[in-house]
Structure 1
Amino acid sequence: MRSEETPGPSRGLAVVLRTPARAAEPLFAQAPKRWQRRLPYAVVAVALLTLLPVTASVLTNDYKAGGGWAGALAVAQTVPLLLALTRPLAAWAVVLAADTIGAVVLVHADRITGQTWPWTPMVIVGYLLLMACLGLRESIRTLVGVWLATGVVGALLGFLQPDGVTSTHALLFVLAGVMLVVTGALRGVGDAQRRVAEQESISEAERAGRTLLEERTRIARELHDVVAHHMSVITVQADSAPYRLPDMPEDVRAEFGAIAASARESLSEMRRLLVVLRGDGVDGERAPQPGLARLQQLVEATVRAGLPVELSMTAEAARAAEAVPAVDLSAYRIVQEALANVVRHAPGATTRVAVRHDPGGPQGEGGPGEVLVLVVNGRPRSAPVRLESSGTGHGLVGMRERVRLTGGTLDTGPLPDGGFRVAARLPLHAPAEDSS
């Protein structure tokens, strides 16, 4: 079992950068945590509540601009910052126009000498905040255009520069460029991480699909041996019927011959299909498929590998499963996969395997009943083996497919004490056809 890691500050920032806002959405709207989504609002609110009164006060007291002009410029230069959360490009156009008008108005202020111009300190702070919002959302081409436009406007205003002022044109141009580069780089890192995460998700889905197909192919190969046995019996019985029953009518003799021919043709088709499923064009091993009769050997081999396993299997369960080869094979494979998972993920854990026959089924309705398979392991005694992400991972997938094959049910999950439980019900009758 893997425990969830608590993301640190750097990991939290990476998550935020991997989930940029879509068009017309607030900045960080796709962030996973509520405080991350509200952070831009808090920053802009603090900036607005600070810059608005300070701008009005500085323009009135330091520059001696008219009270009406000071208030109007303070509102025009700061309030559009609210728009920066959803439409930073539009906010930038409004703020740049307001800052330009403010610079022209300040040329005629009563105390312009000795002050900063064309950009006041409040304008620089608000503009840099706007650049940060732009850098986290817009493309590189847009950011370059915004930066060049800032420089061009400042250069044009230089023709109106009054005497005795401290020029801030170059300062804002440089600081805006630095802010755009930093935030644009962060945005690029976030985009790259998001693309990697998307590719990993796609690869994981493809790997899961490939694992499922491989497991179904493996089941098909094994079922070939089971079905081929029954088809061989049918062929032998049909071929030998005329010799065992010499007095049968000619039409019955012909019917048995047709049955034998059809069975042989089916066997030939299955052999050709098996060659395709094996994928190598050659015959594979022809050993009989295992069943519950070989479960004791499997448990003994697992014990020799260092895993303490206790087996409890009734003779009724073995006999009942043997009568239905698909159930016999599926029960064996489920136990085999479960023990393999214990060896990999919970080495040294005490494990209990129980197999029994329920003659009445889950509702006590009589009939052939079902085979119940239970594999429970405790906590691992040593550190689990960390599997490579490229592994096959056939364990639970194989169990589910084999349970589906027999029309049964599978219940898997962790236990409160740190162990794991696998429980399967395999009906001893053919699964009902889906009428839909």
Structure 2
Amino acid sequence: MTQTRTAPSGDGERSPEFRLAMDVLSGLRQDLFHDAFAYRPLPLMGTEGRLTRRLSDKRRWYAARLPQAVVVALALIAMFGGSAGGSMDGPMALLSGLVCAAPVMATLVRPVGAFWMSMAATPLVALLDGRLGEWPWQPGVFICHLTVLVVVAIRTRPRTAAWMWALTAAYALFAETVIGDGEYNTSAPMLLLSALALLMVAVLHVRREARQEVTAQQTVTAHERSRRTLLEERTTIARELHDVVAHHMSVVAIQAEAAPYRVENPPEELERAFATIRENAVAALTELRRVLGVVRAEDYEAPDAPQPTLADLDALLANVRDAGLSVDKTVTGAVRELSPGVELSAYRIVQEALSNSLRHAPGATARVEVSYVLGGLGLRIVNGSIPQTSLVKPSPGAGHGITGMRERVSMLDGEMTAGPTDDGGYEVAVFLPFRAQTEGEA
């Protein structure tokens, strides 16, 4: 019985060396051959920098086109070197200069194609001059090719720059050994200068990519921090609402159980109604604790004292004054009792706004305005600017304050604005809608 062996047919069965060589050739084809002469105009320079944004509109227009102007100036230098660096004169010198300038100008619109034009210009200028012994680079094409390498490397990526330098070195080796007479050696300066220039460009590329990656990571981190802050604030609100609602549901259940005993010989229907109310209150309380209880941390302990309301603002302001903030309170409108959620959220908003004033504007004065208006409650907390005589420096916060206030206002379908004032202070204005209960609803 004989066994037959089949030759490997797939790339997966090739040797690692073969796959490496194919990857290298694929990268070369993609970087320097695929769409080599594609139209890729040089973009304008950004004018949002520290210096350019101070210029007038006309000067900023010119500043945005500075890269194009630099390339044109380099093309003129290459043209001068090509026309004056050889033994030609008259039309031949002009033609040589144009051949040297054309690849540099091509970097403005077709960067990869400009590299191949520069490679082709090298023997062409030598043929026009008739001095093949000075191959591979005469003065004009030396300037031209070095400029093209640097500009194309800036406009592409480091791998493309490496390929261009490798092809340049191969071309120089071939020209020096096969065509040149060895009297002039222009390859060593070209390869050394181009290697240093391309290395600097590669370092700039890596630095720019690292900066972009850091910026992207900072953006993601800021987004995650904001999201985590929002979740933490929602958790805090849920805990507080859980305590408020649980307290009132417990009161309803106790009152429903005790109500029949306050009436002598109550009807059976009334006893069943109160029993149903108590059962529903207990069931709602159990479900509330089951659903909202998951937001409590393991080390969270429910506060023993009742949740604060607007009636506790005076104690809060006294505490803030003891901390060094001079604050006044103004109340307008008919003071009335609001729902526990509105009372608690309003207290927390004032508390957080005053805490921000203590942190960001030490030594400033603040004012709290509470307005009982038709259909809701208005709050306005404003602080002045930091006095010049203040010895305490502002301390940066974690960004939880404004986020938490907005979350509370959004939960109650209210409106909120926050921002700096004209005198250098800061203002927080909030409106919390609230529909007063009628006697029939109470």
TM-score (norm 2): 0.79
Q: Counterpart in 2 of 1:268?
A: 286
Aligned with 2:394 (options 365, 369, 385): 385
Q: Counterpart in 2 of 1:202?
A: 220
- Rounded to whole Å, the distance in 2 between the matches of 1:301 and 1:99 is 83
CA distance change for structure 1 residues 25 and 193 in 2, over 3 Å: closer, same or farther? farther
Q: SS where residue 136 of structure 1 aligns?
A: helix
Q: CA deviation at 1:136?
A: 2.1
Q: SS where residue 166 of structure 1 aligns?
A: coil
Does 2:303 match 1:285? Answer: yes
Q: How does 1:215-226 map to 2 (within 5 A)?
A: 215-226=233-244
Q: Is the 8 A contact 2:82 2:97 kept in 1?
A: yes
Aligned with 1:58 (options 63, 84, 106): 84
Q: Is the 8 A contact 2:82 2:100 kept in 1?
A: no
CA distance change for structure 1 residues 197 and 377 in 2, over 3 Å: closer, same or farther? same
Unaligned runs of 5+ in 2: 1-38, 50-59, 437-442
Q: Counterpart in 2 of 1:88?
A: 111
CA deviation string 1:7-56 (max 9, x = no partner) = xxxxxxxxxxxxxxxx935256667455664221111121223433x145
Q: How does 1:12-411 map to 2 (within 5 A)?
A: 24=40, 26-27=42-43, 32=48, 37-52=64-79, 54-55=80-81, 57-58=83-84, 62-64=86-88, 67-68=91-92, 70-106=93-129, 108-109=130-131, 117-158=135-176, 159-162=178-181, 165-245=183-263, 247-280=265-298, 283-314=301-332, 316-317=334-335, 320=336, 322-358=337-373, 360=374, 369-381=375-387, 382=390, 384-387=393-396, 392-411=398-417
Q: Is the 8 A contact 1:311 1:353 kept in 2?
A: yes
Unaligned runs of 5+ in 1: 1-22, 361-368, 431-436
Question: Which residue identity is paired with 1:211?
Answer: T
RMSD: 2.6
Q: Is the 8 A contact 1:78 1:95 kept in 2?
A: no
Q: Is the 8 A contact 2:376 2:433 kept in 1?
A: yes
Q: CA deviation at 1:262?
A: 1.9
TM-score (norm 1): 0.80
Question: Which residue identity is paired with 1:92?
Answer: F
Q: CA deviation at 1:253?
A: 3.0
Q: Is the 8 A contact 1:134 1:180 kept in 2?
A: no
Q: Is the 8 A contact 2:420 2:427 kept in 1?
A: yes
Q: Counterpart in 2 of 1:17?
A: none
Q: SS where residue 107 of structure 2 aligns?
A: helix
- Rounded to whole Å, the distance in 1 between the matches of 2:162 and 2:82 is 31
CA deviation string 1:371-429 (max 9, x = no partner) = 22111111113354242xxx532111111112122222112111111111111112222
